[in-house]
Amino acid sequence: MAGSQPPKLIILDILHILQKHSDIDHRLSQQQIQDLIESEYGMNVAQKTVKRNLSKLIEFGFPIRYRGSEHENDTIIRKGKNGKSEVILTDWYYVHEFMDGELRLLIDNVLASDGISQKERLSLIGRLEGLSSKFFLSTIKNTDMEICDKVINREIYITLENIGSAIADGKQASFHYCDCGIDGKLKYKLDSSGKKKLYNVNPYQIVSRNGHSYLICNLPEHDDLTHFRIDRIKDCTKNDEPATQLRTLKGFSAGIRLSDYIKTHPNLWSGTPVHITFQCKQYMMNDVADSFGTNNRIETLPDDMMIVHVEASEASMLHWAIQFADAVEVLSPKNLREQIAETLRNALSKYEK
């Protein structure tokens, strides 16, 4: 017999018990479900009531399994009082939408994302944890939240929503853009008259790179792509003006493959990709793959050296090569090689004074 709670709510109690206390590695018998309902809801429920409502939940399409529901050879069969064989329905569990490893990946990305306060991170992570059973333990409890930078733009959620809506509806977006000032606060970029500069863009994709989110877009006065850091965008709105189709831009008649764009613009520096060759030690293959992918042409040389052929923007390659200046030598194009040499000479002169 149930307690004072309306009988119609018992099915929800059973569902919540399964979601919280069970997964494929932690299964419940009908008796354990009864005990949990009593301890958490103060309800005394008959076993036949539990069994009936479990069947209803499966009938309604909830992802609930029991021993033998997926593999018949796991089924427990016994002789009933009437001498006939009957199936014992036990080891009930809820099939959660996300695997624990998937949730850990999402949580790690929340921790690494910029523009989110510590309070917002904890709230979002708590909701992600709630998508699994109580047995899922993320590493958040052992993470020092002080590793998170101070939030300087609290509009990031609204910005993402408005940009996402503009992309979905094929509309332009407008916003002001900021740089980080020496006081750690965002400073608006200004136009020639000293007013906040308004950017109107044709938005196409949002990507994440190195812990930052970027909007890949086109400035209508140009025919190429550029990108903006999402956490430095303020006052973003969706416009009524239709966005220019990506396929009409020079070099993008076939659209854009996000993975290719990121590989040709490591660290998200703008510019048109060109053919670049460089040489380095073979032990740098991990760094090469991280920045340019694994589908590049590579020539092996003596002494564990290699020549790598990539397609990348010159601005991206300049900064990447300087980052690894002690191990990487750009061979071509000649003008890029000269730019790198000049940059390194200027840097060296600062330390030789």
DSSP one-letter string for 251-284: T-TT---HHHHHHHSGGG--S-EEEEEEEEEGGG
CATH number for the domain that contains residue 46: 1.10.10
In this structure, what DSSP letter does residue 245 have? P
Indicate the number of domains in the chain: 4
Supply the pLDDT for residue 8: 74
Which residues on adjacent β-strands are paired with residue 226?
Answer: 217
Are 221 and 284 part of one and the same domain?
no
Evaluate whether residue 42 is within a structural domain: yes
pLDDT in tens, the chain (353 residues): 445 566 678 999 999 999 999 999 999 999 999 999 999 988 899 989 999 999 999 999 999 999 887 765 677 766 666 767 666 788 999 999 998 888 887 887 777 676 677 777 788 888 898 899 988 875 556 665 555 555 567 788 899 999 999 999 999 999 999 987 767 678 899 999 999 999 999 999 888 776 678 899 999 998 888 889 898 999 999 999 999 998 888 777 776 666 677 777 766 677 778 999 999 999 989 888 878 877 889 999 999 999 999 998 898 899 999 999 999 999 999 999 999 999 999 999 998 87
Whether 169 and 251 map to the same domain: the answer is yes
17 and 88 in a common domain: yes
pLDDT of residue 124: 86
Domain boundary among 200, 227, 256: 256
Residue 323 lies in a domain: yes
In a domain, 264, yes or no: no
Task: Tell me the whole-structure pTM to 2 decimals.
Answer: 0.64
Position of tokens 């764009």?
A: 261
Inter-residue contact 248 to 222 (CB < 8 Å): no
pLDDT of residue 156: 86
Does the residue 74 lie in any domain?
Answer: yes
Q: Does one domain contain both 163 and 242? A: yes
Q: Are 53 and 89 in contact (CB under 8 A)?
A: no
Q: 215 and 297, same structural domain?
A: no
CA distances for 223 relative to 18, 154, 174, 248, angstroms: 55, 32, 18, 9
* Terminal C-alpha separation, the chain: 89
The pLDDT value recorded for residue 186 is 84
Q: Which candidate, 39, 55, 38, 56, places its Cα nearest to that of 1?
A: 38
Give backbone dihedrals phi and psi of 191, rounded to 5 degrees, phi first.
-90, -175
Q: Kindly tell me the sign of the dihedral angle through the C-alpha atoms of 69, 75, 76, 81.
A: positive
Q: How far, CA to CA in Å, does 283 sit from each of 277, 280, 336? A: 17, 8, 24
In a domain, residue 130? The reply is: yes
8 A C-beta contact, residue 308 and residue 278? yes
> Are both 160 and 251 inside the same structural domain?
yes
CA separation for the pair 292, 314 (Å, rounded): 13
Instruction: With H, G, I as helix, E, B as strand and everything else as coil, classify residue 44.
Output: coil
Tokens of 290: 């991280």
Query: What's the token pair of residue 89?
Result: 């329905």
Q: Last residue of some domain: 256, 291, 312?
A: 256
Specify if 339 maps to a domain: yes
Do 191 and 121 lie in a common domain? no
Please report the pLDDT score of residue 107 as a whole number. Answer: 83
1 within domain boundaries: no
- The domain in which residue 218 lies consists of 156-256
Instruction: Tell me how crowded residue 31 is: count the other CB atoms within 10 A of its CB.
Output: 11
Neighbours of 341 (CB within 10 A): 11
Q: Is 196 helix (H, G, I), strand (E, B) or coil?
A: strand
Domain assignment present for residue 261? The answer is no
- Phi then psi for 136, rounded to 5 degrees? -80, 120
* E strands in the chain: 64-65, 76-79, 85-88, 93-94, 171-180, 186-188, 198-209, 212-218, 226-229, 233-242, 273-281, 297-301, 305-313, 328-332
Q: 215 and 143: one domain? A: no
**26 three-class SS:** strand
Residue 162's nearest CA partner among 151, 173, 170, 178 is: 173
Joined together, the tokens standing for residue 139 give 């590493």
243 and 283 part of one domain: no
* Side-chain half-sphere CA neighbours of 94 within 13 A: 20
- Which amino acid belongs to residue 171? K
| Structure-derived torsion over alpha carbons of residues 81, 84, 88, 89, reported in degrees to the nearest 10 | -110
Residues 172 and 227 both lie in one domain: yes
Domain stops at, among 71, 94, 117: 94
Residue the block writes with tokens 């709230």: 123
214 with 289, same domain? no
Whether 215 and 163 have beta carbons less than 8 Å apart is answered as yes
For residues 106 and 75, membership in a common domain is answered with no
pLDDT of residue 248: 87
Which DSSP string corresponds to 70-81?
Answer: S-GGG-EEEE-T
